[in-house]
Chains A and B, each alone.
Chain A
Amino acid sequence: MRFGRVLCAYLAETKFECLRVLRAPAFVIPILALPIGFYLLLGVAMAGMRAERPGSTNVVIFVSFLIYGVLAPGLLGVSSLLASDRALRIIEYKRALPAPFGSVIIAKLLMAVVLSLAVVVLISVLGATLGHVPLRATQFVAVGLIALASVAPISALGLCLATLVSPSGASPIAGGLLVAMAILAGLFYPLPSVLDALRPIWPTYHVQQLSLAALGVSGDAQWQNVAALVGFTLVFGFVAAKRLGRGH
């Protein structure tokens, strides 16, 4: 088959995946509303009490909510959608059809990027206008792009989870994992030393380090953070692809 037609198949899969989600308000509204609501409550409402300079608590909280915001579509959204497709046997049907390899995975990943983009834009606008986040436009763009890039390892984990557990168990486990990835990576609270040492096992920790380094708040970000995120993406993505494509 010509490359152009294969590309069309990937684009069609992505387009219709996004349409499905946009037509399911019960799915999409909580994913968008939760991080934005929490940011309004904890980031914006309390912003006036904090200092306004890069590196201040406002900036750190803004970055944390940006990462938390992409966790919902990337982890919860992707895993619950894939689990639902498995339960409905849509995945099995597509395995019998000539759906291009990985198109289901790519489509769900890009759907998560689209939803994440909405979250990133909304939180950035709130941060710039109401949240007293004193960043330049280029800095907003930089941390926004890092957050969007982090959808890859987070979605890979969501895909992997949805292929490993029963369809009914995927959403609750993803919900618990979402909270763990936010709190245990130290996005919101300082952690006891034992848990602090374990922060690098969470992809969200590495995203936070990269974001803060991009803003000059912390100089700790190194190639190890990028390598860890690429590693998470490859390992979880490989397991998910293997599980989705396997015969019995």
Chain B
Amino acid sequence: MQTSDPVAALRGVSKRFGSTTALQNLDLDVRRGELLAVLGPNGAGKSTAISILLGLHRADGGAAMVFGRPPHSIDARRQIGVMLQEMSLPPELTVRELVALISSYYPEPLGVDATIRLAGVERIAGRPYGVLSGGQKRQTQFALAVCGAPRLLFLDEPTTHLDESSRELLWERVRELVSSGTAVLLTTHYIEEAEALADRVAVIANGRSVAAGTVEQIRSVAVRQRVECVTTASAEDIRSWPEVQQASLAAGRLSATTCDAVALVERLIAADRGLRNLEVRRATLAEALAQITEEHRT
């Protein structure tokens, strides 16, 4: 379903808060029918970028557009759904009442019952929001994000506090929405969530976009590889080798990261002819992100 039409975009966006530069010349695209995961360390500028796309803050420089309109315009907002990372809702209202209230803002909402079914909150629909657990509150917030049948969905740390089964249900629903053409912008600290859901990943560090592409492309950017084996070589020797970046040895099992796996394996074999269970693998997305953001730390 993915097309090249951006439904939301930041073009050269800059934003300062006092003397702090939150964003510098940031570009970001979200396209119809794709899930874009925005990743980066704390304080990288992810939340500021999202708040500009939501019309909560205005950019100091550059342009922000949602469906071809300024993000704060009501016509743009009628096409989006929002699940913020830290949000509260009136504790006195029930889940059903909250869905009815938020649905009333949209021109063609899904309907209260359909939304409750879609979000899997049937069992808590009649309970006041204030008595719900953290996970149930997140499920309710997801229901509110999708109740307006949005064409663009902002999900900021959506699975925080969710148990395994609720997380799986939410992932399944997000996949269904994406396959039906909804664009999703996801920010998450759970790298496996991005790996499981994202069509594309944008990495932000120090307010700038430092990498963008598919999960595979991002992983391939990282030159680090992990080498693991059972060896009798000493940890002290291994750590002294120039191609080793990090190494730990526990109960004879070595785990090392390197930028030159071939050279490391050759040296390991030379040092210990009897090494066993040798494994060499590419960087995970988490390792790739760590490397990318480390390289752009200023």
A interface residue numbers (CB < 8 A to B): 1-2, 5, 8-9, 11-13, 16, 19-20, 23-24, 88-90, 92-93, 95-101, 247-248
Give the nearest-CB partner of B54 in chain A. Answer: A96
Do residues B90 and A98 form an inter-chain contact, with CB atoms below 8 A? Answer: no
Shortest Cβ gap from A142 to chain B (Å) = 35
- Kindly list chain B residues whose C-beta atoms are within 8 Å of the C-beta of A93: 82, 84, 87, 89
Do residues B58 and A98 form an inter-chain contact, with CB atoms below 8 A? Answer: no
A24 vs B97: C-alpha distance when bound (angstroms): 16
Pick the contact of B107: A1, A20, A88, A89 (CB < 8 A).
A1
- Kindly list chain A residues whose C-beta atoms are within 8 Å of the C-beta of B173: none
Cross-chain pairs A/B with CB under 8 angstroms, 30 sampled: A1-B78, A1-B107, A2-B107, A5-B107, A12-B104, A13-B104, A16-B90, A16-B101, A20-B93, A24-B92, A88-B88, A88-B89, A89-B86, A89-B88, A90-B89, A92-B56, A93-B87, A96-B55, A96-B56, A96-B82, A96-B84, A97-B77, A97-B82, A97-B105, A98-B80, A98-B106, A100-B105, A247-B57, A247-B58, A248-B56
Top 4 A-B pairs, shortest CB-CB distance: A88-B88, A12-B104, A98-B77, A23-B92
- Kindly list chain A residues whose C-beta atoms are within 8 Å of the C-beta of B106: 98
Do residues A19 and B97 form an inter-chain contact, with CB atoms below 8 A? Answer: yes
87-119 of chain B: CB within 8 A of chain A: 87-90, 92-93, 97, 100-102, 104-107
Shortest Cβ gap from B298 to chain A (Å) = 25
Do residues A19 and B93 form an inter-chain contact, with CB atoms below 8 A? Answer: yes
- Kindly list chain A residues whose C-beta atoms are within 8 Å of the C-beta of B54: 96
Pick the contact of B56: A9, A100, A247 (CB < 8 A).
A247
Give the number of chain B interface residues (Cβ < 8 Å). Answer: 30
Pick the contact of A12: B55, B72, B100 (CB < 8 A).
B100
Pick the contact of A9: B58, B88, B104 (CB < 8 A).
B104
A174 vs B90: C-alpha distance when bound (angstroms): 22
Shortest Cβ gap from A101 to chain B (Å) = 7
Shortest Cβ gap from B158 to chain A (Å) = 15
B148 within 8 A of A: yes
A181 vs B214: C-alpha distance when bound (angstroms): 63
- Kindly list chain A residues whose C-beta atoms are within 8 Å of the C-beta of B72: 247
Shortest Cβ gap from A93 to chain B (Å) = 5
Give the nearest-CB partner of B74 in chain A. Answer: A98
A133 vs B61: C-alpha distance when bound (angstroms): 65
Shortest Cβ gap from B107 to chain A (Å) = 4
Do residues A247 and B55 form an inter-chain contact, with CB atoms below 8 A? Answer: yes
Do residues A98 and B78 form an inter-chain contact, with CB atoms below 8 A? Answer: yes
Do residues A13 and B92 form an inter-chain contact, with CB atoms below 8 A? Answer: no
- Kindly list chain A residues whose C-beta atoms are within 8 Å of the C-beta of B74: 98, 100-101
- Taking A20-B90, A98-B77 as known contacts, 8 extra A-B pairs with beta carbons closer than 8 A to each other, sorted by chain A number, are A90-B88, A92-B56, A93-B89, A96-B84, A96-B154, A97-B77, A98-B80, A247-B57
Shortest Cβ gap from B160 to chain A (Å) = 16
- Kindly list chain B residues whose C-beta atoms are within 8 Å of the C-beta of A100: 74, 105
Give the nearest-CB partner of A88 in chain B. Answer: B88
- Kindly list chain B residues whose C-beta atoms are within 8 Å of the C-beta of A2: 107
Q: Mask for B158-188, Cβ within 8 A of A = 1, else 0?
A: 0000000000000000000000000000000
A168 vs B96: C-alpha distance when bound (angstroms): 30
Most chain B C-beta atoms within 10 Å of own C-beta, residue among A8, A16, A92, A97: A97
